[in-house]
Amino acid sequence: MERFFRFARALFIVSLVSSVAAAALWMPRASFWLATPALVFSGWAFVGHLVTLDDDSPGGWSNPRESDSIATESLAFWHRSLRDLALKLAVLLALSFFVFWQHTIAASG
Report the distance separating Cα 108 and Cα 99, nearest Å: 14
Bigger pLDDT: 71 vs 79: 79
Q: How far apart are CA 20 and CA 35, in angstroms?
A: 8
User: Of 68-72, 77-81, 82-86, which has the strongest mean pLDDT?
Assistant: 82-86
Nearest-angstrom CA–CA distance, 67 and 56: 9
Number of folded domains in the chain? 1
**Residue in 93, 76, 91, 85 with CA at minimum distance from that of residue 54:** 85
Question: Would the pTM count as exceeding 0.85?
Answer: no
Confidence of residue 84 (pLDDT cuts 50, 70, 90): very high
20-74 tens-digit pLDDT: 999 889 888 888 889 999 999 999 999 998 888 777 666 666 666 665 555 556 7
Domain extent at residue 54? 2-108
Contacts of 54 by beta carbon, 8 Å cutoff, 6+ apart: 60, 61
pLDDT at 68: 57
d(CA 7, CA 4): 5
> For the chain, how many helices (H) and strands (E)?
4, 0
